Structure 1
Amino acid sequence: MILVFDVNETLLDTAALAPFFEEVFGEAAVRGEWFLTLEETWMTATLAGRYHPFGQLAKSALRQTGWRHGVEISEARQGQLIDMLTTLPAHPDVAPALAELRAKGYRLTALTNGTLKAVQHQLAHAELDAAFDVILSIDSIASYKPGQPAYQYVADHWQVSTRELVMIAAHGWDLIGAASAGCKTGFIARRGKVIDPQLFQPDWQDDSLTGLSRQLIADVSPM
């Protein structure tokens, strides 16, 4: 099996954005509202067949959040958010877990809704880029996750069936999309992230990438 990793929140810690939202809105918790708006924006774009690069959508979500709170968001603030997104730190469990998986012979793929240039910068800054065999962006096909073309894109890159992929993410919507495309799924229950088992049950689940990786090593053979 080939392991495929979501990037933002799954590998990289968006909690590092909290000081920005505290400064702009006076409340760090607004970060969650902004991210939910961003998710809604790219899913709407996907359903409507209207693609815009991730950075544009991130800025739009910030402007929308500002309007709801009566806060005017300047171009400089929008640029500051994008800069911070590209320099997020990795969750502490990520580097050792990826190193263990590589040592066991697994092929590792990063798959992001961000642009390729942005994710390459993100993973290099977090010192994770060397852990991956390939880094892929949906920007190449102009179709966001959780749409099925995103997961087929990874399968096509490796010239395998989607049944040979394990999608690993901290987002239920990502895993539901991957499962619908034929992939196996692994859920990392980062802080605040949940999946309703009455609606969807991932193949593997843990509250850390370390624990999830050990389950995969026990259950899944590398290709």
Structure 2
Amino acid sequence: MILVFDINETLLDTAALTPLFEKIFGNAAVRGEWFLTLEEAWMTTTLAGRYLPFGLLAKSALRQTGLRHGVDISDDHQRQLLDILVTLPPHPDTAPALIKLRAAGYQLTALTNGTLDAVQCQLEQAGLRDLFDVVLSVDSIETYKPSPKAYQYVADHWQVSPRELVMIAAHGWDLIGAASAGCMTGFIARPGKVIDTQLFEPDWHADSLTTLSQQLMADVKA
């Protein structure tokens, strides 16, 4: 069983962006609006058969958010956004859980919608890079998650069936995409993240990576 991890919000805490949004908009809640705009952007480009790098979409989402609120977004604001994104801190449970999973013999893969350079920087800054066997980016195939092609890319890398992968994320859309490709799925209910189990039921569901890891290991032993 190969574990595949989403990065932003799942392992790294995007709440570190809050001061920037408070400074620009005077309202920390606008951070959520920006992220939804960013998600809309990469899903739209994927559905349209196009591809633009994550950094360009992140800056565009910030400019669009500014237009909605009548706030001028400067080049410096956009630079600060990208600078903070590559230095996000890990959630407190991230490193301990990954260490235990690695010690238990699991192969750990990072899969991000960001670029490979950016995610390598993120994981190095967070002290997590050495915990992963491999780090992959959809930038290599120019197709964003939740396209099934993104998860097949991981399976092809490991030369296994997608059925041998467990996609772990704090986003329901990510897990629905993974399941459609044939993967098993694990949902982490990070703050503000929910999943409608009447629409989609992940294989594992927990409020922390610690608990999710315990569930995984217990099921494998059983």
Q: Bin the TM-score by the shorter chain.
A: over 0.9
Aligned to 1:183: 183
The Cα offsets for residues 82-120 of structure 1, whole Å up to 9 and x where unpaired, read as: 000000000000000000000001000000000000000
Distance 1:81 1:102 in 2: 32
Which structure 2 residues correspond to residues 101-140 of structure 1 after superposition, within 5 A? 101-140=101-140
**What's the counterpart of residue 206 of structure 1?**
206
SS of 2:167's partner is strand
1:77-156 matched pairs, under 5 angstroms: 77-156=77-156
Which residue of the partner structure matches residue 13 of structure 1?
13
C-alpha displacement of 1:61: 0.2
Mapped pair 1:173 → 2:173: yes
- Gapped regions of structure 2 (runs ≥ 5): none
**Corresponding position of 2:52:** 52
The size of the alignment, in residue pairs, is 221
Taking the aligned partners of 2:191 and 2:65, their CA distance within structure 1 comes to 22
In the TM superposition, structure 1's runs of 4+ consecutive aligned residues that sit over 2 Å from their partners are none
The residue identity in structure 1 corresponding to 2:214 is R
Taking the aligned partners of 1:77 and 1:18, their CA distance within structure 2 comes to 13
Instruction: Tell me the secondary structure at the aligned position of residue 220 of structure 1.
Output: helix
Q: CA deviation at 1:218?
A: 1.1
> CA offset at residue 76 of structure 1?
1.1
Could you say what secondary structure the match of 2:10 adopts? coil
How far apart in 1 are the matches of 2:219 and 2:49? 38
Give the distance between the partners of 1:35 and 1:192, measured in 2 at CA.
12
Offset, 1:126:
0.2
Name the TM-score, length of structure 1 as normaliser.
Answer: 0.98
Identity %: 77
C-alpha RMSD of the superposition: 0.6
Structure 2 CA distance, aligned partners of 1:163 and 1:18? 37
Note the alpha carbon deviations across 1:65-87, whole angstroms, 9 max, x for none.
00000001011110110000000
AA partner of residue 52 (structure 2)? H
Corresponding residue for residue 27 of structure 2: 27
CA shift, 1:220, in A, is 2.9
- Matched residue of 1:63: which SS? helix
Aligned partner of residue 4 in structure 1, secondary structure: strand
Read off the aligned partner of 1:66 and give its amino acid letter. Answer: G
Alpha-carbon separation, structure 1, partners of 2:197 and 2:219: 21
- The normalised TM-score by structure 2 is 0.99
